[in-house]
Amino acid sequence: MARTLTWAQLASILLIASFAVTDLSGVHSSAVNDVFKNFDGHRRHADRPPMILPLHLSPLNSSRHRMDLAGNSRRRQLRKSEHHTNNARMRLHDDLLRNGYYTTRLWIGTPPQEFALIVDTGSTVTYVPCSNCKHCGIHQDPRFRPDLSNTYQPVKCNIDCSCDNEGTYCTYERRYAEMSSSSGVLGEDIIAFGNESELVPQRAVFGCEDMETGDLYSQHADGIMGLGRGQLSVVDQLVDKGAISDSFSLCYGGMDVGGGAMVLGRIPPPPDMVFSRSDPSRSPYYNIELKEIHVAGKPLQLSPKIFDGRHGTVLDSGTTYAYLPDESFDAFKDAIIKESFHLKQIDGPDPNFNDICFLGAGRDVSQLSKTFPDVNMVFSNGQKLSLSPENYLFRHTKVRGAYCLGIFPNGKDSTTLLGGIVVRNTLVTYDRESDKIGFWKTNCSELWKGLHIPGVPAPAPVVPFSRNSTIEMSPTPAPSGLPQNVFPGKFQIGLITFDMSFNMNYSSARPNFTELAEFIAHELEVNASQVHLLNFTSKENVSLARWAIFPAESADYISNTTAMSIILRLTEHHMQLPGSFGSYQLVEWNVHPQMKKTWWEQHFLAVVVGVTVTLVLTLSTFGIWLVWRHRQLAFGSYKPVGAVVPEQELQQL
């Protein structure tokens, strides 16, 4: 006899199916991409919607996803006794509050193509824009070209994936609460992690975008590196291959520093690292068991249950700030204001937001702890995570020496969401094998020194060639997939060109290129006379400028050291231009070799000087001779008075 289902059972099945295809970046979607929408580059919506998970029913051919978490958990349990010594040590770039996110570099394909991807623990898919994308924005690097990779293979349609309309290839789609989305086909290729990684390149499945909307379209970074729990997560794929242990770590740089480090795989935890249990069955997101918050040593008068609402307390590396339930936010805000009574409260940098800002603390970040109170987060096991002022404050962008509260209310959502600001200068280890998350306060700019890990490569970052560079190089094999020295042999650089796109309205007046050239020269640490505008085009609000860096006046070429410095500053986005020029993106850069001169070009000046000197000497000699001759003639025709003159016969008439 067929078994009948009650409405409660049916609702439970539908909810499980919905979670199965929900991207973990539902948390990410509530806040992470808010950072791109305003002038400060790290703002949230004025009326930010509550954290909404984009629930969708599973397709008929994706039943495997319903057992994804359980299956992966069983596989990880089987590998608990295995010890993996290799891991991928990777650098983090950009800045949490300036850019709204941290990125890392991945190289995909053979030969490798470089991409800057936002590290996001709230997403389960890694994706990059592809060359055939119908609606993709202008990002940091060129789009991925599958036709240029010898190892790329599209994932063919099967029972474990959603397929395209033709039933040929597997597809993916991710929609976020702030109305941005990414969709495309799934492909498999070799992914390399850089030359600081002990982990050799691995084959992995990733998303090849053919459509992006919203903030994903307008962001500067190329795409997303999904670190969440899910079958398509980079971490899950590497763990399933046995390449790394089921753990990874993130370490965000501090205020005004940015950067940081990421490790895929296990690292020895420091002795004083504090841990909180993380329950994957409680929520698909990386959660911790927060019970209390202390300000200046005094606990907030709140029920511990307030931090356990809905999804509990969630860590999301893709979110900029922290969001607390209304009651806990009010208590936290009042406690901070009470402890900072000696500071003057001022308006925030954006009049559209009621930011809580303080003036009078000075600009030295290291001295903020003398002005603002310490904050402690207490876990259910009694261990405490200490937060310094840089973990709950951000700089006022318009008033020097002023700081604003980086903790906000989460509206009607009862979830506690902890973004990247809370863990700046904190090593966060996501120990998925043991279902716990560890925290260790440190200087993330010097993480390896603090961990005393030997054998770490020299910290000089690798700068690969632009695909459009005029220098021809053969692909470099694994493990790094990148050349150690981008200027081979005795290569001499004669010119560096780069294209910049500006989002600014130039309809009323053209930009002051002389002033802009001076700013670029200052940021790249070259002379203003070396920076030249080659071309400028403008269409609507987007303008494209091509610049060239020439050798100094006293040099024939740009030294390799100087060229490396210029290229690093360009690719690492160290140029900070005035806001009057709008936001910019580096579209492309090229290195041009010194042009070989012909014999005439090499000796033209010497020939000109020689000919000139010869002409001068010849003309001078001829002039002297003429003067001498004239004097001789004049002297020979002179006859003194009384001199005898021979008689001359007169001609007949």
CB 253 within 8 A of CB 92: yes
If asked whether residues 421 and 550 sit together in one domain, one would say no
Question: In this predicted structure, what is the pLDDT of residue 41?
Answer: 33
- pLDDT recorded at residue 264: 95
Asked, for residue 142, whether it belongs to a domain, the answer is: yes
Q: What is the CATH number of the domain that holds 217?
A: 2.40.70.10
Question: Do 120 and 266 share a structural domain?
Answer: yes
Domains in the chain: how many in total?
A: 3
- Whether residue 223 lies inside any domain: the answer is yes
Question: Radius of gyration of the chain from Cα atoms?
Answer: 34
| Residue 300 placed within a domain | yes
If one counts every other C-beta atom within 10 angstroms of the C-beta of residue 643, the result is 7
Phi and psi at 225, nearest 5°, equal -105, 105
Same domain, 245 and 350: no
Catalytic residue among 120, 189, 236, 431: 120
Q: Record the tokens describing residue 350, joined without a space.
A: 């954006």
Q: For residues 33 and 219, is the Cβ–Cβ distance under 8 A?
A: yes
Strand-pairing partners, residue 346, are 357
CA angle at 420 for the pair 404 and 45, rounded to the nearest 5°: 60
Chain segment 337-353, per-residue pLDDT in tens: 999 999 999 999 988 88
pLDDT of amino acid 68:
43
Q: Do 143 and 588 form a contact (C-beta atoms < 8 A)?
A: no
Domain that holds residue 99: 87-270
- Are 57 and 18 in contact, with CB atoms under 8 Å apart? yes
Residue 413 pLDDT: 87
Confidence at residue 243, expressed as pLDDT on a 0 to 100 scale: 93
C-alpha to C-alpha distances, 571 to 221, 303, 494, 519, nearest whole angstrom: 12, 48, 19, 17
Do 262 and 281 have their domain in common?
no
- Burial code (b: 16+ CB inside 10 Å, e: under 16) for 36-72 equals bbbebbbbbeeebeebebbeeebeeebeebbebbeeb
Could you write out the DSSP letters of every residue in 71-136?
Answer: HHHHHHHHTTT------EEEEEBS-HHHHSS-EEEEEETTTTEEEEEEEETT----EEEBTT-SB-
> Is 26 a member of any domain?
no
pLDDT of residue 98: 74
The answer to whether position 278 is within a domain reads yes
- The candidate with the shortest Cα–Cα distance to 379, out of 289, 444, 307, is 289
**What span, in angstroms and rounded, lies between the C-alpha atoms of 599 and 298?**
81
Are 255 and 282 part of one and the same domain? no
Query: In what helix (H) or strand (E) does residue 609 lie, and over which residues does it extend?
Result: helix 599-636
- Using DSSP's 3-state secondary structure scheme, residue 44 falls into coil
478: in domain = no
Q: In CATH, what number is assigned to the domain containing residue 551? A: 3.30.70.150
Q: Show which of 214, 238, 270 is a domain's final residue.
A: 270
Q: How far is CA 221 from CA 89, 102, 363, 418, 421, in A?
A: 20, 9, 29, 22, 19
Residue 572 and residue 461 in contact, taking contact as beta carbons nearer than 8 Å: yes
Query: Are residues 280 and 247 part of one domain?
Result: no
CA-nearest of 402, 395, 416 to 329 is 416
Q: How far apart are CA 528 and CA 555, in angstroms?
A: 15
**pLDDT at position 198:** 87
Pair (414, 283) in one structural domain: yes
DSSP-derived pairing of the beta strands 375-379 and 357-359: unpaired
Overall residue count recorded for the chain in this entry:
653
Residues 368 and 388 in one domain: yes
Is 435 a known active-site residue? Answer: no
Query: In 419-530, which ranges are E strands?
Result: 426-431, 436-441, 493-503
* pLDDT at site 522: 77
Do 102 and 239 reside in the same domain of the chain?
A: yes
Q: Which residues of the chain have pLDDT under 70?
A: 1-85, 177-178, 450, 452-491, 503-511, 540-541, 554, 572-583, 595-599, 601-602, 635-653
511 and 369 share one domain: no
Confirm whether 210 is domain-assigned.
yes
How far apart CA 587 and CA 555 sit, in angstroms, is: 28
Residue 445 DSSP code: G
Give the end of a domain, one of 270, 299, 324. Answer: 270
Give the whole-angstrom CA distance, residue 276 versus residue 418.
14
My answer on whether 116 and 189 are in the same domain is yes
Q: Are strands 223-226 and 113-120 parallel, antiparallel or unpaired?
A: parallel
Distances (CA, A) of 269 to 378, 412, 429, 601: 20, 37, 8, 64
Residues 215 and 292 in one domain: no
Show which of 270, 288, 310 is a domain's final residue: 270
Q: For the chain, what percent of residues have pLDDT higher than 90?
A: 41
User: Of the listed 68, 215, 222, 316, which one is catalytic?
Assistant: 316
Is 484 within a domain? Answer: no
